[in-house]
Structure 1
Amino acid sequence: MPASLDGQLVIAISSRALFDFEAENQIFNKADDLPYMALQLEKIDEPAVPGMAYSLVKKLLAFNSPAHQRVEVVILSRNDPVSGLRVFKSCYAHGLPLLRGVFTRGRPAWSFLEPLQANLFLSANEADVRDALTADFAAARVYPKSASTEQHPDEIRIAFDGDAVLFSDEAERVYQQDGLHAFQAHESAKVQQPLPPGPFKSFLQALHRLQQDAGDAPMKIRTALVTARSAPAHERAIRTLMSWNIQVDEAYFLGGLEKGPFLKVFAPDLFFDDQTGHCDSAASVAPTAHVAAGISNTKSTAGS
């Protein structure tokens, strides 16, 4: 009988999200990737430095035990197979028991998310992230140079923006087209009507299931909603989560205040937001990933 990933939380992650390959990436050339391959081969026995999502991955793998395989992390990378050798050697050197990887040598990698049954895709490649989001996968472009939060070793903390991340961009469209007053009136009028789901609802649900099913695990999960909403628009957001039968542990309704200082206190292992301005603020204090979804990203030209 073939192996199966059924019932597991599956994270697909690029090599640049897991390890710091920014120096090597400086010499990468789509037209000629041989110098990049040669450099990775030259460094094959040199473990790569942990990258932006390394701490998150290490903590997620703590949910596994010989009796229960609850989390699967798969390398999904545009790297070539030769460079993939160094990736796996680096995993082994750092004690990360990763077994599976897909290396496409410059070709789009996101199309393998379906056979992997991935709940989340983290990549430094914006094109792959956008294509994955279009195909209804939870995906985000990591900020490789995000600040690290080496805190709370027995707890995973993940923070989400609301509109265009957990929820659809329905309300955000009203705000951008008609202003704050119209937004507040729209949300008050529809307070009893749940917001349509956004691209990260499914990932939050998967985290919630893991949190409930792994009560005996040494690692715990704590989630936070970090949104520019304020009263009275906060109520619809909370009622939406209630209608999904999902609880978040903390919620910050900031009314447009900069998110970075609040995230510094919460110290997430990863924060997701659809607006690059919020991501820039957050990346100075915590690992951050941009969700290129919704009206704010319709004409986005953010680099990868």
Structure 2
Amino acid sequence: MPATLTGQLVVAISSRALFDFEAENLIFEAGDDHAYMALQQQRLDQPAPPGVAFSLVQKLLAFNAGGGAPQVEVVVLSRNDPISGMRVFRSAKHYGLAIERGVFTRGASPWRYLKPLAAQLFLSANEADVRQALAAGVAAARVMPDAARASAAHPRELRIAFDGDAVLFSDEAEQIYQRDGLAAFREHESSRAHLPLPAGPFKPVLAALQRLQQAPGGGMKVRTALVTARSAPAHERAIRTLMDWQIEVDEAMFLGGLAKGEFLREFEPDFFFDDQVGHVESAALHVPAGQVAAGIAAL
């Protein structure tokens, strides 16, 4: 009987998101893929340094340590060539990451393989691949390879922070703000405080994290945060939406337009997801971050 990933949180991740291949990528981006392959082959026995999403993956896989059926599957889904894929697997083994599956497409877009993998999350440094994944209905984010690395202060706790509109929620309210301004946005949200917002691309990810939190064994915990530019009175609709979904977050920050970076620095997430480039760049100075290239503000 074929193997199945049913019942697991399946995360697909590119080589550059998992490991720091930025020096090698300069050669790849120059269009000389043969030189890139030769360099990766020369470095087969040299573990690649951890990348921006390394801590996220390391902690996700730690949920499988409790025995029983695995809860998380991480698959490398990469534009790299198969030779470079050898180095990815060897690097994963070096760091004790139990990654067994990978798809390497040598420059071709890999997003089509998300469906047969049943992936619920895709992390990549390639914006086009991320947009295609989101259009196909898979939560995805363009990682910032140069972002700060995650804090080592919480080794047994997976910490993830999410923006609200266009990430956890749809961009319905954000469209009002962009078209009509802040006052209209507040009036729109106040008058609809009891009406749940439609789901955004990352609602399934948050729900999967809640299931991980509730699953026994492993010794790992999950801590989540909503970090949004909303403020009172628009906060109420966001909270009531989560209540309607029966999904909890541990912390909520309604910042009313304040820069998010310093607040995220104090929360110390393993990753932060936001749709707006400016917020992601602010966050990336302090924490691992990625852009959810969806919604009106991400165009």
TM-score by length of structure 1 reads: 0.96
In the other structure, the counterpart of 1:261 is 262
The CA deviation at 1:68 is 2.5
Distance in 2, Cα, partners of 1:297 & 1:232:
24
Deviation at 1:15, TM superposition (A): 0.4
Distance in 2 (CA, whole Å) between partners of 1:102 and 1:154 is 29
Gaps of 5+ in 2: none
The CA distance in 1 between the partners of 2:51 and 2:206, in whole Å, is 23
Task: Quote the residue 2:36 is aligned against.
Answer: 36
- 1:212 deviates by 1.2
Measure the CA separation in 2 of the matches of 1:264 and 1:79: 32
Match of 1:47 in 2: 47
Deviation at 1:208, TM superposition (A): 1.1
Tell me whether 188-197 or 61-70 shows the greater mean CA deviation.
61-70
Equivalent position of 2:298 in the other structure: 297
C-alpha contact 1:53 1:270 (8 A) present in aligned 2:
yes
Say if 1:167 and 1:198, in contact at 8 Å, map to a contact too. yes
- Letter matched to residue 152 of structure 1: H
Name which of structure 1's ranges 269-278 and 30-39 shifts more when overlaid on structure 2. Answer: 30-39
1:189 counterpart (191, 194, 202) = 191
Q: In structure 2, what is the equivalent of residue 115 of structure 1?
A: 116
The separation in 2 between residues aligned to 1:91 and 1:69, in whole angstroms, is: 18
Shift of 1:29: 4.0
Hey, what's the Cα distance between the residues in 1 that align with 2:49 and 2:131? 27
The question of 1:141 aligning with 2:142 is answered: yes
Please give the root-mean-square deviation of Cα atoms over the aligned residues, in Å: 0.9
Deviation (angstroms), 1:297 = 1.9
Equivalent residue, structure 1, for 2:58: 58
Identity %: 66
Distance 1:211 1:26 in 2: 39
Larger mean CA deviation between 161-170 and 31-40 belongs to 31-40
| Distance (Å, rounded) in 1 between the aligned partners of 2:234 and 2:55 | 34
| Runs of 4+ that moved beyond 6 A | none
Contact 1:30-1:106 within 8 A present in 2 as well:
no
- Secondary structure, aligned partner of 1:63: helix
Deviation, 1:254, is: 0.2
Partner amino acid for 1:248?
V
The aligned residue for residue 25 of structure 1 is 25
Unaligned runs of at least 5 residues, structure 1 = 299-304
Q: Could you tell me how far apart the structure 1 residues matched to 2:264 and 2:35 are? A: 39
Q: What SS class does the counterpart of residue 64 from structure 1 fall into?
A: helix
Q: 1:277 corresponds to which residue?
A: 278
The number of equivalent residue pairs is 297
Deviation of the 1:70 alpha carbon: 0.7
Q: Report 1:1-304 matches (<5 A).
A: 1-29=1-29, 31-65=31-65, 66-148=67-149, 149-213=151-215, 215-298=216-299
Secondary structure of 1:62's counterpart equals: helix
Q: Deviations over 1:223-269 (max 9, x none)?
A: 00000000000000000011111000100000000001100100000
More moved, 270-279 vs 89-98: 89-98
Q: CA deviation at 1:217?
A: 2.0
Whole-angstrom CA distance in 2 between matches of 1:40 and 1:203: 33
Cα distance in 2 for residues equivalent to 1:153 and 1:93: 19
TM-superposed deviation, 1:30: 7.1
Distance 1:32 1:175 in 2: 45
Residues in 1 aligned to 2:214 and 2:21: alpha-carbon distance in whole angstroms: 35
